[in-house]
A and B are shown apart, each in its own frame.
Chain A
Amino acid sequence: MTTVIRVENLGKKYTLHHQQRESYTALRDVLASGISSIGQSLLHPFQKSLPDRQIKEQFWALKDISFEVKEGDRIGIIGRNGAGKSTLLKILSRITEPTSGRVKIKGRVASLLEVGTGFHPELTGRENIFLNGAILGMSRSEIKKKFDEIVDFAEIEKFLDTPVKRYSSGMYVRLAFAVAAHLEPEILIVDEVLAVGDAQFQKKCLGKMGEVAQGGRTVLFVSHQMAAIQNLCDRVLVLNSGKIQLIAETKVAINSYLSTMSVEDTDNNLEYMKRSGNGLVRLASFHMENEKGVYIKSICSGDSLLLVFTCLSTIQLSIKNVSIGFSIHNSLGDTLSVFYSHYANVLFDFDSDGVIKCKIDDFPFSPGQYHIAARVLADGAEADWPKGFIGRIDVEAGDYYKSGKYGDAGVGPVLIRGCWSLS
């Protein structure tokens, strides 16, 4: 397999101007500061010119990035906000130049940084197909050849001659994606397109992208949706503050990414929390891990989650009939679910300390942020109740339904599974 992209020691530096409130430079500011510095040197000719009043800070959005992409690879790029994902794509798609290092590319690159780029609201669907195609780098004859296919894919036949400003947002996105999906470049760069559109169309897009990749073409895909990455990519590049943290097979990389997100967060400190209870047993620590025992702080819907509680006996005696319970709350603090071990007829006996785990298969919450609180009972009496959330979990979209679909995000917090039938 040939290498189609080779990135060598790539770096991109931005200069931040702290004094400015506006994102752009105004000539009047430049003139004013120029004149005032001339004034300064006239008034104090022997003084060294004062340093610029503006504090300029240099910031490396990317530093020493090196990797290779082979023909037909489907690479996912993940990382937190500000990790440099978009900067990397911008360099690969030639929108901005690197500050150091180099990139070698073989074949035509088309980027899909945001759907609908270059659409003009006053123009009709038909006109926009041509315009958008040209902007994305298609020739007129290519667009003509694909025109019917694009219209078909976008499902907008009836509205071809309507100005795009009258389209619903769904139609708009469908049309935009349809044009881009029919680009047929050797290398396709995609950034978060799947965040929009209805579920059915998302499936179609994923399918189309899979098709693109099957056709031997190379795909670079940036997304926050782990499920989409899992479905589409065979290798994943994890970026962390402008550096490559890991390049690995998808599953490994995603797990590593999710687990690093946890280590850096320490906002729930059990030790200093107010609490109530008789104190026979004390909840000493809490964390979450995945099936492999890796600490995590975020998870995909439908994955397994282990809640791990460490309890200490404060009376140096063995403790019997301990039930531990936890509750899950949404970001507003509303209780969504409570689960004590004695609900499942499980009571624990331990000597000085015990590590109690609760494994939740197929974590049934939709993407969002959830808080966890816990309470310990011993012999039916409250032993320890920390008054605060002892943990937080970020849930990302995942394949809960085991169908490759991840439902409509943000509709409701709890996911259920069921069997559908017709009788």
Chain B
Amino acid sequence: MNEKFDLILEPGGGIRHYWRDIWKYRELFFFLAWRDILVRYKQTAIGIAWSVLRPFLTMVVFTIVFNKLAKLPSDGIPYPVMVYAAMLPWQFFANTLAESSNSLIDNQNLLTKVYFPRLVMPASSVIVSLIDFFISLVILAGLMLWYGFLPDWHVILLPLFLFQALLFAFGCGLWISALNVQYRDFRYVVPFLIQFGLYISPVGFSSSIVPEQWRMFYAFNPMVGVIEGFRWAITGKEAMIYWPGFLLSLVLIGMILTSGFWWFRRMERTFADVV
């Protein structure tokens, strides 16, 4: 009798094969992302326009309020460019967070009927926001041309900061998507967090206006590091970034991501029963 089994299901089991399973289901990951993108741009004729308009209009408002009315400094950079350079990672973060937080609930019919590593779900929703990001990036390029402000070599480091934003958003997404399944009213917390975050992060203003002794404290918001990184890469201005704060942001993101994985893995086993 041949006694070799491929798969053993037991209470608390399945962790051994988890990473292998994620690799096996990588195609599903792409398919889900592909579906979300397809649906998004099919359902709304203004799908693309919307992803352009939202950050653009916010940028206009911020420029008027913070630059023209509040007369905040911009360190020699055209104010709209400075705001938009921060708007990019912020919008990307906010979209990713919103999408991945709801990904499990929105797909609960899949969750209760088919097996796949649930991690695929919040992960694939990150991709959709990436598309929006690249569209916005084109707008930034146009804006910089308009103001005749061209970036230097620093800009090649931009993908690294994008990756940093992605990891942060994904880490938060893991936490919140799992919490969302467990506590269904948690979804109302997310829009509030995002709105709140927009004002405490240096999107509409330069973080150089924060007093020097407070900058480390300010960096406890990991998005500060991400946004400063973006501005630094795009403008090349050393004053834009506070390196100790940036390192702190990396550490914090690492912690959120690791704990997010841990929490998600812990809750994942019961998703199908609770959802």
Contact = CB atoms under 8 A, between A and B. Distances in A.
Contact of A101 (B5, B7, B10, B12): B10
Interface string B38-78: 11001100000000000000000000000000000000000
Contact of B274 (A25, A98, A102): A25
A97 B14 CA distance: 9
Contact of A120 (B39, B111, B182): B39
A130 B270 CA distance: 28
Interface string B180-215: 001111100000000000000000000000000000
Given A102-B9, A105-B7, A25 B183 contact: yes
A65 B192 CA distance: 48
A102 B6 contact: no
Contact of B9 (A22, A103, A111): A103
A24 to B, nearest CB: 4
A90 interface: yes
Interface stretch (A135-143, A259-267, A366-374): A135-143
A114 interface: yes
A106 interface: yes
A142 to B, nearest CB: 10
Contact of A135 (B7, B31, B184): B31
A139 B27 contact: yes
Contacts of A96: 272-273
Interface in A84-105: 90-105
A117 interface: yes
B114 A113 contact: yes
Nearest to B181: A24
B1 interface: yes
Interface in A376-423: none
B115 interface: yes
Contact of A122 (B8, B43, B179): B43
B239 interface: no
A25 B1 CA distance: 47
A25 to B, nearest CB: 6
B258 interface: no
Q: Which of B7, B32, B38 has the most chain A CB atoms closer than 10 A to its own CB?
A: B7
B133 to A, nearest CB: 23
A322 interface: no
Contact of A95 (B2, B186, B272): B272
Most buried by A among B42, B113, B183: B113
Nearest to A109: B7
Nearest to B274: A24
Nearest to B12: A97
User: Among B11, B111, B179, which residue has the most Cβ atoms of chain A within 10 A?
Assistant: B11
A95 B115 contact: yes
B269 A135 contact: no
A123 B35 contact: yes
A104 B2 CA distance: 13
Interface in A1-53: 2-3, 6, 14, 22, 24-28, 30
Interface residues of A, number: 47
A333 interface: no
B9 A135 contact: no
Interface residues of B, number: 43
A134 interface: yes
Contact of B182 (A25, A100, A103): A25
A421 B106 CA distance: 54
A117 B114 contact: yes
B27 A140 contact: yes
A107 interface: yes
A312 B31 CA distance: 73
A216 interface: no
Contacts of A94: 9, 14, 115
A409 to B, nearest CB: 25
Nearest to B5: A104
B250 interface: no
Nearest to B42: A122
Nearest to B2: A2
B185 A27 contact: yes
Contact of B35 (A92, A98, A104, A131): A131
A104 B8 contact: yes
Given A99-B11, A120-B35, A113 B6 contact: no
Contacts of B14: 94, 97
Contacts of A118: 109-110, 114
A113 B43 CA distance: 29
Nearest to B268: A97
A114 B111 CA distance: 12
A102 to B, nearest CB: 4
B9 A105 contact: yes
Interface string B97-141: 000000000000111111110000000000000000000000000
Q: Which 6 A-B pairs have the closest CB atoms?
A: A27-B183, A94-B115, A104-B5, A134-B31, A102-B10, A103-B9
Interface of B: 1-2, 4-14, 27-28, 31-32, 34-35, 38-39, 42-43, 109-116, 179, 182-186, 269-270, 272-275
18 contacts: A22-B184, A26-B185, A27-B179, A28-B185, A30-B183, A98-B10, A100-B11, A102-B10, A104-B5, A104-B8, A106-B4, A118-B109, A120-B39, A122-B39, A123-B38, A134-B28, A135-B28, A140-B27
